[in-house]
Structure 1
């Protein structure tokens, strides 16, 4: 018998959301935190666009058989083959032509974005509606069960998508995003009742470096996004990041080799060029709002770096003191090996919120999403402060996963 979730007849997110919702008999009124204590969360939503964004992407990708524009190294191969590079280049050219040009292609999710790791399959609008319903149900849980009132999102297409997946909470939450020339950008949602004055959102373009500084047409990586709220007696800032991927860990795994920020790999060089603008941003925000939260998808195991107990003279390749913003060369690169030690350098004090619990069923990427507090804000928290990872809501047989990241959240005192 055919699963009603995957009929050709489109289903609305509201209709699908009822399939994700728990029976009313199990529902409990959430505990209301004090006015100066509330939850903060970071959630990478895995290429979350609107239903219309998906339908446009799917129309193009059906024609090119959902090909992959990124060449991949097959298991057992020492490097990417020339044939794999050729196939990826052809995929990119065909997709760009059908999308209407490079600018239009950049604002579309890649053809393999929702395909997983197996052979390409034909996806439908109903498949994507199920993903959006899963995102909405996951956010419902963060707000209702964990008292989350500030949410930082990564891998979203626009603020309109956030308003859609906020569902029943959309009326009480404000939303902003960072305009970007690519599909993936950042967004915030916050409970408007938190701030006595209108919230202020601002985009940090300094993080928007290119993979190739010598190419003026090279695509830019994601910017940063700040949200400032006027809480009773203080101004608090939230800084949302989604840093360059591909240079994640200093401890080797069966899949990924260890890489420092002076590694010759292109991804590490790009991440390296985000260090100086990230430090300048922290210094600038810290002067106005000493109490701030830096959170998001760092694409770097800063917890591994912190645990490694690196000596100050080992942080930079020239042995200089890591305190202060490092001097960048003409390409924007700095003489540093470690992200965490460069950020938490003595000129500013930062504290990572450790992961204290992971909900059953939480799968996907680990060690990339972090919540970091400024020293001033960390001083207000209990000594045993910990963060949690919550499993995303997903139905059995769902063909597009809700997300490959679990949201990470913490309850903070202000």
Structure 2
């Protein structure tokens, strides 16, 4: 007889009990005593997070195509995938689209390899995915209960529905909004509705959702941006949530990733380059309404490396022009920018990165991609030595789908 699948809430409760047992000192303290003086703000990439129903649809299609990979696989030492690897990937994409009901439906589904590890593909179950959701809920619970986080920017989510699930017992306290998008991955916000004197207002920045290939109008679009406007302590403040193009991350080479500037001919850099001007225009538009704003999310770019480098103004753009203002765009949206950070914080527009000053033990996954950036006006009102923290995600022993490959990053801000 088939055993009933454990429900997401049952797994979440088990993880919460285990977590509470290891943090008894925190749990014993009164809630009011543990609240920070300011307001906690966090950014968290949930790694292809949808509802349990989203996973069930994903599993039905992927089982039929044997959990194939739509991305060509390169063998160790190969600079490019082989012709055979490209053929296999194309066949996988075609089969997936056919079973999903067409290209539009397939784009709203998680790729079959998204939850797989580095080894051979395995048949994942609803119980495996329920464990991931439970880990996300327990992790978000830590942010809210221990760090006083009251505004959370989420990336790699399917919809607001999954955010309401991972908020767990805090869902009634928080309002949620998301950015409608043609692909599975989008961005979302959750905020404590008691924060402001007026309800929060969300607006979508479609300018960041450029097409991957400007010569093909039918090509998939990147994720849009999402703004949340609140009135906090009598002042208007905006939170800007981004998830920029991946694959063009660093200017310091590593054994795994080579250094790339934004004028690099690599395809991901070309796409990220075309997001620069829309991002700058968005910042300027928000600053006109209120000088206080927070830009946060998954930048997919090590802007901390760029900030630490000795880059002179004339080096920021290929043509040596002054980086102040929005750079001129070519017909396809390309700009002459080499460095994202120096282009954004160009002197006319002053921004300040919140440095990472604490990382929880056991915090694994991507580093240097998630950032919290303050406008100059907001940064000027923060205490000296302001820093941010990365919190380890909660994961059960033997969990087959990892909770997330990003650790949430948070900061407590004074308003």
1:25-52 alpha-carbon deviations (Å, 9 max, x no partner): 8123341234xx1100000000000000
Which residue does 2:102 correspond to in 1?
101
CA contact 1:68–1:111 (8 Å) conserved in 2: yes
Asked if structure 2 preserves the Cα contact closer than 8 Å seen for 1:293 and 1:373, the reply is yes
Q: Note the alpha carbon deviations across 1:362-382, whole angstroms, 9 max, x for none.
A: 000000000000000000111
Unaligned 5+ runs, structure 1 = 1-6
The structural deviation recorded for 1:78 is: 2.5
What is the CA distance between 1:76 and its match in structure 2? Answer: 1.3
Q: Tell me by how many angstroms 1:9 deviates.
A: 2.0
Question: Which deviations, in whole Å up to 9, do the C-alpha atoms of 1:161-218 show, x marking residues without a partner?
Answer: 0001100000010000000000000000000000111110000000001111110100
Whether contact under 8 Å (2:205, 2:227) holds in the other structure is yes
- How far apart are the structure 1 equivalents of 2:3 and 2:151? 37
Q: Which residue of 2 aligns with 1:363?
A: 364
Which residue does 1:16 correspond to in 2?
11
Match of 2:36? 33
- How far apart, CA to CA, are the structure 1 residues paired with 2:252 and 2:297? 21
Is residue 8–residue 124 contact of structure 1 (8 Å, CA) maintained in 2?
no
User: Structure 1 residues 317, 124: CA separation in 2 closer, same or farther (over 3 Å shift)?
Assistant: same
TM-score w.r.t. length of structure 1: 0.97
Q: Take 2:218 and 2:117, find their aligned partners in 1: how far apart are those partners?
A: 30
1:238 aligns with 2:239: yes
Would you say the 8 A contact 1:9–1:126 is kept in 2?
Answer: no
Matches within 5 A, 1:178-327: 178-327=179-328
**Pairing 1:62-77 to 2, within 5 Å after superposition:** 62-77=63-78
Within 2, Cα distance between the matches of 1:23 and 1:374? 37
Measured against aligned partners, the alpha-carbon deviations of 1:269-321 in whole angstroms (never above 9, x if no partner) come to: 10000000000000000111211000000000000001112000000000000
1:232 Cα deviation from its structure 2 partner: 2.0
Q: Secondary structure at the match of 1:193?
A: coil
1:82 Cα deviation (Å)?
A: 1.1
What SS does the corresponding residue of 2:333 show, helix, strand or coil? Answer: coil
Please give the residue correspondences for 1:107-118 in structure 2 after superposition, counting only pairs within 5 Å.
Answer: 107-118=108-119
| Deviations, residues 313-362 of structure 1 (Å, cap 9, x unaligned) | 00000000000000000000000100000000011000000000100000
- In 1, the alpha carbon distance for the partners of 2:241 and 2:49 equals 17
Q: Is the 8 A contact 1:211 1:266 kept in 2?
A: no
**Matched residues in 1 for 2:343 and 2:3: separation?**
52
Unaligned runs of 5+ in 2: none
**1:310-389 matched pairs, under 5 angstroms:** 310-389=311-390
How many angstroms apart in 2 are the aligned matches of 1:245 and 1:33?
Answer: 34
Partners of 1:59 and 1:52 in 2: how far apart?
11
CA distance in 2, matches of 1:350, 1:389: 21
Contact 1:209 1:220 in 2 (8 A): yes
Please state how far the C-alpha of 1:23 moved relative to its aligned partner.
4.1
Distance in structure 2 (CA, Å) of the matches to 1:238 and 1:397: 37
- TM (normalized to structure 2)? 0.96
Distance in 1, Cα, partners of 2:129 & 2:217: 35
1:62/1:373 CA distance change after superposition, 3 Å: same
Tell me if structure 2 keeps the 8 A contact 1:164–1:170: yes
Contact 1:315 1:338 in 2 (8 A): yes
Q: 1:144 matched to which residue of 2?
A: 145
CA–CA distance in structure 1, aligned partners of residues 234 and 145 of structure 2: 26
Structure-2 separation of matches of 1:172 and 1:74:
49
